[in-house]
Structure 1
C-alpha cells in the first residue's frame, strides 16, 4: 500500500472526542435557531462558545495534538527564513518592473510588425 497522508481516527477515546466536538457544534447551531426569542448577541455568543468548546475538545485528541505539533514546527521553520532587506526588495522590484516594461515594448513592436506584414504586404488592405 502506498504511503498515504490521510489521517484516520484511531482509538475509542479519539472517536469519542471527535463525536463530542461535532455534537457541540450541532448543539450550538441548534441553540442559535431555537433561542430566537433572545437578542442576536446572546444567540451568537452561544454559537461562538459551542464552537470554541468543540475546538478545545478536538485539540485534546491525538489529531489535535499532531496539529499543535505541526503548527509549532511550522513556526520554528518560519523563524529560519532569511528575509531580504528593504534595499534588496526595492532593487528586485525595480528589476522586475524594468523587465516588464522592456517585454511590453518588445511585444508591442512584434505585434505591430506582424500586423503590418499581414494586413499591408499580404492582404494589401492598407
Structure 2
C-alpha cells in the first residue's frame, strides 16, 4: 500500500502571514469602495496596492512558496508533453465529430422507435 506524505502543519508565523495577506486583500477592496468620492485612478491605486501587498506577503509565507514551486513543477511537466501534429489533431477532431453525429442519430432513432412502440402500438394514443 503506497502512502503519500501530506504536510499540513504550519508555523504560527506562516498562519499570521496568510491572515495578513487576506487582511491586505480585503483592505484593498474596502479602500476601493470607501473612496467612491475620489477620482477613479485613486480608487484603482488603492485596490492594486492592497492586491500587490497581499501577493507579496503571501509569497514570502511557506504556503506561498509551495504554490510557486507547484506552479514551476506544473510548467516543467507541461513542457514534457508531446503535442500531436496538426494533421493528427485534425484527424482526431474529425473522428470525435463523426462519432458525435453517429451517436446523435442513433439516440434520435432509438427515441423515435420507442415513442412509436409505446404511444402508437401499446397505448394507441395517436391516431
TM-score (norm 2): 0.77
1:32 aligns to what?
32
Q: Unmatched 5+ residue regions in structure 2?
A: none
Deviation at 1:4, TM superposition (A): 8.3
2:97 aligns to what?
97
Report the Cα distance in structure 1 between the residues aligned to 2:116 and 2:24, rounded to whole angstroms.
70
Does the C-alpha gap of structure 1 residues 52 and 111 become closer, same or farther in structure 2, counting only changes over 3 Å?
A: same
SS at match of 1:79: helix
1:74 aligns to what?
74
Report the Cα distance in structure 1 between the residues aligned to 2:123 and 2:34, rounded to whole angstroms.
75
Which residues in structure 2 correspond to 1:35-54 (within 5 Å)?
35-54=35-54
Q: Unmatched 5+ residue regions in structure 1?
A: none
2:11 aligns to what?
10
1:120 aligns to what?
120
Report the Cα distance in structure 2 between the residues aligned to 1:29 and 1:89, rounded to whole angstroms.
44
